């Protein structure tokens, strides 16, 4: 891969996905594109890219984009977040919505570990939840929907007891049990697009997404999250992510890492 | 603060070496045993904080060791994590009901071991 190829990949990712492909990911990009080139029938990555540049084909473009997104995730990533959700938010929300469903959104769900972790926490609280999980990558969301994880993936973040309770063995893999899968609706969606009629959510998890976005897109995504969050709802960002520079719609909750609620200014506007 | 000790019980020297490197990286003092009987002797001298335990081993297997360990004075204290190629759900359940705190299916890496040790409260949670 030439430096020019990488420049064009950066432009492709930025324009189509709002994704910031940093220069330190050049080797990683080459490594990830190898299998895409083989799958698409090219001799090597260079041949695939030169074909893409001379004759852009949407499907190939998306395969390349999907391979370069950062899908890193695991079960109960940042354990404290799930403890706050499970022990504090879930009981409060269930009490505040008598007879109603609590609606959760895993935005940037990748391969689904976050959504399943939320479903486990909700079902262990005997809460009635509806979870929507969306991701830009079709491959990731398909894997998430399958609910199938390798031994390697399943034990990253889950205790063996939790694994046995909520997953069943399927050959060499582990599959989420039906009650878990039926709590979640998986959809491919781009956070940069206008929202469809998914309604509003009680809690939104958009963790480790903003930090990979082109700075110019962060404000837009935060604005969208604000619109899709109920006024007394909660937003979880990645524990190292801060919305302050991009949006005044949210304020942090003291002592709860990554947790945000709507700022008074956003509430006034809504009223 | 005193060092936490981790006893690695596995008949494979390679596995012990790999596991040692990982848990030393997490700040543990490491001791090794090549089978359950050696491990039991060690525990009768001094109880480790954590035991990483293979299942199939000569002389005394992991499950027999675990049952005898839990009957020793102070033997309920160590956090015991099975680390084995045995991946059948019923065997995992058997190990847990025999008193294992958690269970790691081989192959594993540092991230998995770190998250498992965090799950049983033996180390801080990975970020």
pLDDT for residue B123: 86
Scanning the structure block, which residue is given the tokens 């505040």? A96
> For residue A268, is pLDDT > 80?
no
Q: Kindly list the structural domains of chain B, giving each domain's residue range(s) and its CATH number in brackets, ordered by start.
A: 4-119 (3.40.50.2300)
Q: How confident is the model at residue B127 (pLDDT cuts 50, 70, 90)?
A: low
Tens digit of each residue's pLDDT (9 = 90 or more) over B25-67: 999 999 999 999 999 999 999 999 999 999 999 999 999 999 9
For chain B, list residues whose CB is within 8 angstroms of any CB belonging to chain A: 87-89, 92-93, 95-96, 100, 102-105, 107-109, 111-112, 115-116, 118-120, 125, 127
Which tokens is A204 given?
Answer: 């939104």
Q: A77 burial class (0-12, 13-18, 19+ CB within 10 angstroms)?
A: buried
Q: How confident is the model at residue B121 (pLDDT cuts 50, 70, 90)?
A: confident
> How many percent of chain A have pLDDT more than 90?
82
Chain B: give the shortest CA distance to residue A201, in Å.
26
Collapsing DSSP states into helix, strand and coil, what is residue B81? strand
> For residue A269, is pLDDT > 70?
no
What average pLDDT does range A139-150 have in this prediction? 97
How far is B101 from A20, CA to CA, in rounded Å? 41
Contact residues on chain B for A155, CB-CB shorter than 8 A: 104-105, 108, 112, 115-116
Q: Given an 8 Å threshold on Cβ–Cβ distance, is B115 in contact with A78?
A: no
Q: How crowded is the C-beta side of B21, counted as CA atoms within 13 Å?
A: 9
Q: How confident is the model at residue B122 (pLDDT cuts 50, 70, 90)?
A: confident
Q: What is the ipTM of this complex?
A: 0.90
Which tokens is A147 given?
Answer: 């609910």
How far is A114 from A253, CA to CA, in rounded Å? 21
| Full-model pTM | 0.92
Q: Given an 8 Å threshold on Cβ–Cβ distance, is B88 in contact with A161?
A: no
Judged by average pLDDT, the poorest of A84-98, A134-148, B16-30 is A84-98
How far is B89 from B51, CA to CA, in rounded Å? 21
> For residue A270, is pLDDT > 70?
no
pLDDT for residue B63: 96
The count of other CB atoms within 10 Å of the CB of residue A14 is: 16
Q: Kindly list the structural domains of chain A, giving each domain's residue range(s) and its CATH number in brackets, ordered by start.
A: 3-68 (1.10.155), 79-270 (3.40.50.150)
Average pLDDT over chain A, rounded to whole?
A: 92
Q: Which is nearest to A250 in space by CA: A236, A266, A239? A: A266
CB neighbour list of residue A136: distance below 8 Å, 6 or more residues apart: A17, A66, A69, A108, A188, A189, A190, A191
Tens digit of each residue's pLDDT (9 = 90 or more) over A218-235: 999 999 999 999 999 999
How far is B2 from B48, CA to CA, in rounded Å? 12
Q: Which is nearest to B49 in space by CA: B2, B14, B116, B93? A: B2
For chain A, list residues whose CB is within 8 angstroms of any CB belonging to chain B: 74, 78-80, 151-152, 155-157, 159-161, 163-164, 168-169, 172, 239
Collapsing DSSP states into helix, strand and coil, what is residue B119? helix
Contact residues on chain A for B116, CB-CB shorter than 8 A: 155, 159
pLDDT for residue B88: 93
pLDDT for residue B2: 64
pLDDT for residue B125: 72
């Amino acid at each position: 891969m030439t430096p020019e190829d990488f420049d064009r990949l950066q432009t492709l990712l930025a324009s189509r996905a709002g994704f910031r492909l940093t220069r330190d990911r050049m080797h990683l990009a080459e490594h990830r594109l190898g299998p895409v080139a083989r799958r698409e029938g090219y001799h090597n990555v260079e041949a695939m890219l030169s074909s893409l540049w001379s004759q852009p084909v949407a499907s190939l473009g998306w395969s390349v984009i999907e391979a370069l997104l950062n899908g890193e995730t695991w079960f109960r990533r940042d354990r404290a977040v799930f403890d706050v959700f499970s022990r504090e938010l879930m009981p409060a929300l269930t009490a505040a919505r008598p007879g109603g469903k609590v609606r959760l959104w895993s935005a940037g769900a990748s391969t689904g570990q976050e959504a399943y972790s939320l479903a486990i926490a909700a079902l262990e609280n005997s809460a009635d939840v509806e979870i929507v999980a969306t991701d830009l990558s079709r491959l990731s969301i398909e894997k998430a929907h399958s609910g199938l994880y390798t031994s390697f993936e399943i034990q990253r973040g889950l205790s063996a007891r939790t694994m046995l309770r909520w997953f069943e063995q399927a050959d060499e893999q582990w599959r989420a049990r039906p009650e878990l899968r039926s709590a979640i609706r998986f959809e491919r969606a781009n956070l940069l697009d206008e929202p469809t009629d998914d309604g509003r959510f009680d809690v939104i998890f958009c963790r480790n997404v903003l930090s990979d976005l082109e700075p110019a897109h962060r404000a837009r995504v935060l604005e969208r999250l604000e619109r899709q969050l109920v006024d007394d709802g909660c937003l979880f960002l990645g524990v190292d992510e801060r919305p302050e520079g991009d949006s005044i719609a949210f304020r942090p909750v003291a002592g709860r890492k990554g947790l945000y609620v709507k700022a008074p200014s956003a509430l006034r506007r809504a009223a | 603060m005193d060092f936490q000790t981790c006893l690695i019980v596995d008949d494979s020297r390679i596995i012990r070496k790999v596991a040692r490197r990982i848990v030393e990286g997490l700040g543990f003092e490491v001791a090794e045993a090549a089978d359950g009987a050696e491990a039991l002797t060690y525990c009768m001298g001094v109880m480790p904080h954590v035991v990483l335990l293979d299942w199939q081993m000569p002389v005394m297997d992991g499950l027999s060791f675990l049952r005898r360990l839990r009957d020793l004075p102070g033997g309920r204290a160590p956090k015991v994590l099975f680390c084995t190629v045995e991946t059948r759900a019923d065997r995992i359940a058997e190990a847990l009901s025999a008193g294992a705190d958690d269970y790691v299916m081989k192959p594993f890496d540092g991230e998995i071991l770190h998250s498992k040790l965090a799950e049983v409260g033996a180390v801080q949670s990975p970020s």
